[in-house]
């Protein structure tokens, strides 16, 4: 059973939410030219809770004075409008004195993870996110859940790897090692038949990393909850979201400490790999969980490579 999703221009979760929010505010009731709306730094804040993907907006508090309305009343009106347009993507809650909380749904998170895996192919079109066997084709209340997924946010520009090249920042060896380790584990999964890649030969071409099967990867259980709920998995997903948000958010791109972000992501990968098994009993008894974990490795590989090559200017080796 699959979860069918058409493609959109959005790449990061923050940009996705920002697009919904700006669209909702761009009506006569609100002044879309208001400075707080233009300033993305103050519009959305991501919570640090690794157990869920939560963003908070203070836009109602910032607009209440100019609109001459109570913040809670304004927040309720904004939330009501957003619920009609993105209620299947984010669950929305109003919190006194006028905060708006947006929690990403599991199906949306699965879509986003799948987009990182397939993004290296550069292909656009309809995407499907896998569920477990026996799941429903429709969401809660019988309504088909549809979300615009992401086209290639992280292109894999082939660069030659020079084994003896000196890394300009010694600390980044850990990041390079994490990328190489992800590559080797994905290749091992291919050799053992856990997944099937397009080409059975190690090279740097984009097409090699395309997953033929399972396609899509089984991110969701039959009850539409994410399979990846171990603390190590959640931490790695949270770091991936943070990095991609920074890649795609122009308001903060100039001040991002990319080395620190890359190291945090590589450390989250190490924690995941130390605590979340893929082979052995997991592969035999829970093959869909093993495949979802391989998918998480592929997403991590994609983001690590982009940051290493595009933001830090160093090679992302396939092996060490």
User: Which two structure tokens, joined as six digits, stand for 156?
Assistant: 């894999």
Confidence of residue 63 (pLDDT cuts 50, 70, 90): confident
Residues 110 and 129: beta-carbon distance below 8 Å = yes
Choose the weakest-confidence range: 142-146, 200-204, 211-215: 142-146
Question: How do residues 190-200 score in pLDDT, each as one tens digit?
Answer: 999 999 988 65
Name the one residue in this structure whose structure tokens are 């990041």.
175
267 versus 36: the higher-pLDDT residue is 267
**Which of 174, 161, 196, 193 has the alpha carbon at shortest distance from 273?**
174
For 318, the token pair is: 């396939």
Question: Which of 47, 25, 19 lies closest to 103, judged by CA?
Answer: 47
Beta-strand runs (E) in 121-176: 127-130
Domain ranges within the chain, ordered by starting residue? 9-104, 155-311
pLDDT in the model for residue 43: 78
Rounded distance, CA 167 to CA 156, Å?
20
Please state, rounded to an integer, the average pLDDT across all residues of the chain. Answer: 78
Q: Which of 197, 223, 35 has its CA nearest to residue 121?
A: 197
CA gyration radius, the chain: 20
Structure tokens, 49: 């809770």
Judge whether residue 174 has pLDDT over 60. Answer: yes
Q: Are 236 and 269 in contact (CB under 8 A)?
A: yes
In the 8-state DSSP scheme, what is residue 312? S
Confidence check: pLDDT of 158 > 80: no
DSSP state of 91: E
Q: Show the tokens assigned to 189.
A: 């999964």
pTM of the shown model:
0.81
pLDDT (mean) for 111-124: 71
DSSP for residue 153? S
pLDDT at 206 over 70: no
Quote the percentage of the chain above a pLDDT of 70: 71
Q: Kindly give the residue spans of alpha helices, DSSP state H, lying in 87-146.
A: 106-118
- pLDDT at residue 2, as a whole number: 39
Q: Which of 199, 211, 159, 179 is nearest to 318 (CA)?
A: 179
**Fold classification of 155-311 (topology level):** Isoleucyl-tRNA Synthetase; Domain 1 (1.10.730)
Which residue's structure tokens are 């669209």? Answer: 23
* pLDDT for position 211: 85
pLDDT classification of 230: cutoffs 50, 70, 90 = very high
The region of weakest confidence among 93-102, 200-209, 287-296 is 200-209
- Asked if 40 and 251 count as a contact pair (C-beta separation under 8 A), the reply is yes
Of 27-31, 116-120, 177-181, give the range with the top mean pLDDT: 177-181
Is the pLDDT at 37 greater than 50? The verdict is: yes
Cβ–Cβ under 8 Å, residues 209 and 298: yes
State the DSSP code for 309: I
């Amino acid at each position: 059973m699959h979860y069918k999703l058409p493609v959109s221009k959005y790449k990061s979760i923050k940009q996705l939410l920002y697009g919904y929010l700006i669209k909702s505010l761009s009506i006569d009731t609100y002044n879309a030219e208001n400075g707080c709306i233009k300033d993305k730094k103050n519009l959305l804040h991501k919570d640090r809770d690794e157990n869920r993907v939560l963003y908070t907006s203070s836009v109602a508090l910032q607009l209440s004075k100019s609109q001459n309305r109570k913040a809670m009343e304004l927040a309720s009106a904004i939330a009501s409008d957003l619920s009609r347009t993105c209620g299947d993507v984010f669950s929305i809650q109003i919190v006194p004195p006028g905060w708006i909380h947006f929690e990403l749904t599991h199906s949306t998170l699965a879509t986003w993870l799948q987009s990182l895996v397939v993004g290296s192919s550069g292909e656009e079109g309809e995407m499907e996110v896998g569920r477990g066997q026996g799941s429903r084709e429709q969401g809660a209340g019988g309504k088909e859940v549809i979300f615009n997924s992401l086209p290639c946010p992280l292109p894999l520009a082939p660069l030659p790897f020079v084994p003896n090249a000196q890394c300009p920042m010694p600390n980044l060896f850990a990041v390079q090692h994490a990328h190489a380790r992800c590559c080797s584990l994905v290749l091992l999964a291919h050799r053992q038949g856990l997944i099937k890649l397009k080409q059975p030969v190690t090279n740097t071409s984009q097409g090699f990393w395309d997953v033929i099967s399972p396609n899509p990867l089984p991110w969701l259980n039959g009850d539409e909850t994410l399979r990846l709920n171990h603390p190590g998995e959640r931490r790695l997903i949270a770091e991936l979201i943070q990095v991609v948000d920074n890649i795609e958010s122009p308001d903060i791109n100039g001040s991002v400490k990319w080395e620190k972000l890359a190291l945090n992501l590589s450390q989250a990968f190490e924690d995941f790999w130390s605590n979340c098994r893929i082979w052995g009993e997991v592969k035999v008894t829970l093959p869909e969980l093993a495949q979802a974990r391989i998918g998480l490795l592929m997403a991590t590989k994609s983001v690590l490579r982009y940051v290493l090559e595009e933001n830090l200017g160093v090679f992302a080796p396939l092996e060490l």
